[in-house]
Amino acid sequence: MANFPKKFPQRAVKSRLENSCPWRFLKRAIGVAGLWCGAMVLAHCGAARGGVTLAWDPSPDSGVAGYMVYYGAASGVYSSWLDMGTNTVVTVSNLAAGLTYHFVVTAYSPAGVESAPSGEVTYLVPGLLLSIPGSNPGSPVNLAFPVAPRHWYEVQATANLRTWTTVWQMPPATSNAWVRFSDPQAALFQKRFYRLVLH
């Protein structure tokens, strides 16, 4: 059972609103804003790092006064919410890099009675680079980082923090997931530092 903040009175949901939730037939899609997959899409917001854009089709039910977007870092536990009014697109910003956020939406009546929540969608926020040392002194350094669809990434390295060299780059990502890279040249350096460039 989902854990929602107690924003509206917890009354029985009117049957008219039960069927009006805009994500009731949610199809999960992750991509760039502008893709509409049935009722809703989840898209990486290229303009703001650490953000995601959510969009949904408006409900055809005339009894819907607006929408609430709930989200949190644990499935079914939504510690934050946004009252969208009648807007059907929102950019949620200031999300922590490397965390997976879970989102649902509800429709609400003029009296503040909410529908059942939509199906949950998730988004793994890019922007974090993890370095995992090899198991032996001569082992390659393993790097891991989350990616967003249609964006490409460069791993750069330096021994002096002044001159950076691209040691690996990937083509545009096709999914929202963790990517791993092993640096076989790490053992050639006494110290080596890494950074991730997002495009």
In terms of domains, do 108 and 144 share one? no
Any idea what the Cα angle at residue 110 is, between residues 101 and 58, rounded to 5°? Answer: 55
d(CA 133, CA 114): 49
Does 8 map to a domain? no
How do residues 59-105 score in pLDDT, each as one tens digit? Answer: 778 888 999 999 999 999 999 999 999 998 899 999 999 999 999 88
How do residues 138-171 score in pLDDT, each as one tens digit? Answer: 788 899 999 988 889 999 999 999 999 999 999 9
Residue that terminates a domain, selected from 124, 145, 167: 124
In terms of domains, do 95 and 26 share one? yes
In terms of domains, do 114 and 24 share one? yes
Return the exposure string of 97-123: e unless at least 16 CB atoms fall within 10 Å of the residue's CB, then b: ebeebbbbbbbbbeeebbbebbbbbeb
In terms of domains, do 137 and 85 share one? no
Q: Report the SS3 class of residue 134.
A: coil
Evaluate if residue 37 carries a pLDDT over 60.
Answer: no
Structural domain span for residue 50: 15-124
Does 187 map to a domain? yes
In terms of domains, do 28 and 120 share one? yes
Closest to 179 in 3D by CA, of 157, 199, 159, 149? 149
Does 1 map to a domain? no
In terms of domains, do 42 and 116 share one? yes
What average pLDDT is seen over the chain?
A: 77
d(CA 114, CA 109): 7
Does 91 map to a domain? yes
Q: Of 1-5, 9-13, 164-168, which has the strongest mean pLDDT?
A: 164-168
CB under 8 Å to 160, separation ≥6 — which residues? none
Does 146 map to a domain? yes
In terms of domains, do 31 and 67 share one? yes
Asked if 142 and 180 touch (Cβ cutoff 8 Å), the reply is yes
Q: How many domains does the chain have?
A: 2
Closest to 59 in 3D by CA, of 2, 118, 1? 118
